[in-house]
A = this chain, B = another copy of it.
Amino acid sequence: MNINGFLFSTSEAEIKKAGRKDIALIFSEVPATAAAVFTTSAVKAAPVLVSSEHIASGTAQALIVNSGNANACTGEPGMIVARETSRLVALGLGIDVEAVQVCSTGVIGVQMPMERIEKAIPALVDGLSSGTLDDVALAIMTTDTFPKMEARSGLAGGVSYTVAGIAKGAGMIMPNMATMLSFIITDAAVEPLFLQNSFRGAVDQSFNAITVDGNMSTNDTCLIMANGMSGNPVITEGSPEGNSFTTILNDVLLSLAKQIVRDGEGATKFVEIQVSGAKDEVDAKRAAMAIANSSLVKTAFFGQDANWGRIFAAVGYSGAEVDQSRLSLCFNDVCMARNGIFAGEDAEARGTEVLKQKEFTVSVDLGIGSGTATVYTSDLTHEYISINADYRS
Contact = CB atoms under 8 A, between A and B. Distances in A.
A312 B388 contact: no
A44 B324 contact: yes
A384 B385 CA distance: 10
Interface in A306-358: 307-310, 312-318, 320-322, 324-325, 327, 337, 339-342
A325 B305 CA distance: 45
A47 B48 CA distance: 50
A314 B179 CA distance: 12
A26 to B, nearest CB: 26
A40 interface: yes
Given A73-B324, A320-B42, A324-B73, A303 B393 contact: yes
A77 to B, nearest CB: 7
Copies in the assembly, this chain: 2
Interface in A54-74: 70, 72-74
Given A337-B73, A340-B75, A313 B218 contact: yes
Interface residues of A, number: 70
Interface stretch (A8-16, A84-92, A291-299): A291-299
A216 to B, nearest CB: 4
A236 interface: no
A176 interface: yes
23 contacts: A40-B317, A42-B316, A43-B315, A43-B317, A72-B309, A73-B309, A73-B324, A74-B341, A108-B309, A109-B308, A176-B317, A215-B314, A216-B316, A218-B309, A218-B312, A218-B316, A296-B388, A300-B388, A303-B389, A303-B390, A305-B392, A382-B386, A385-B385
Given A75-B325, A216-B313, A218-B316, 11 more contacts: A40-B317, A41-B316, A43-B312, A44-B316, A111-B342, A214-B295, A218-B309, A299-B385, A303-B389, A303-B391, A305-B393
